[in-house]
């Protein structure tokens, strides 16, 4: 009950913070970029026989996620430090 309530409130708060973002229209990539990436993919695919591109993509994704999380942490701490009484 408590865990559920805590997590639900957390999601609710995130939703409130993200409201301006949710008001924006859905994203879509320009067709040229989609085509370019698809073409690049099709030429890179055979290389995966020797070099594990799928692993590389997974690692790069993890890297971006970690850096994003660090950035978010720093922003949060910066905002918190602006509140009087919190160092």
Residues of the shown chain interacting with another protein in the complex, contacts defined by CB under 8 A: 1-4, 7-8, 10-12, 14-15, 18, 21-22, 24, 26-29, 34, 37-39, 41-46, 48-57, 59, 61-64, 66, 70
Least CB distance to another protein at residue 60 (A): 9
Question: Following DSSP, what letter does each residue of 45-65 receive, concatenated?
Answer: GGGGGTS-HHHHHHHHHHHHH
Helix and strand element counts for the chain (H, E): 3, 0
For residue 3, the minimal CB distance to another protein (Å) is 5
């Amino acid at each position: 009950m408590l865990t559920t309530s805590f997590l639900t409130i957390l999601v609710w708060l995130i939703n409130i913070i993200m409201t301006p973002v949710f008001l924006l229209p859905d994203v879509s990539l320009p067709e040229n970029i989609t085509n370019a990436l698809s073409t690049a993919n099709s030429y890179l695919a055979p290389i995966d026989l020797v070099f594990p591109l799928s692993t590389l993509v997974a690692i790069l994704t993890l890297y971006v996620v970690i850096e994003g999380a660090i950035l978010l942490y720093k922003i949060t701490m910066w905002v918190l430090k602006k509140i009087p009484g919190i160092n």
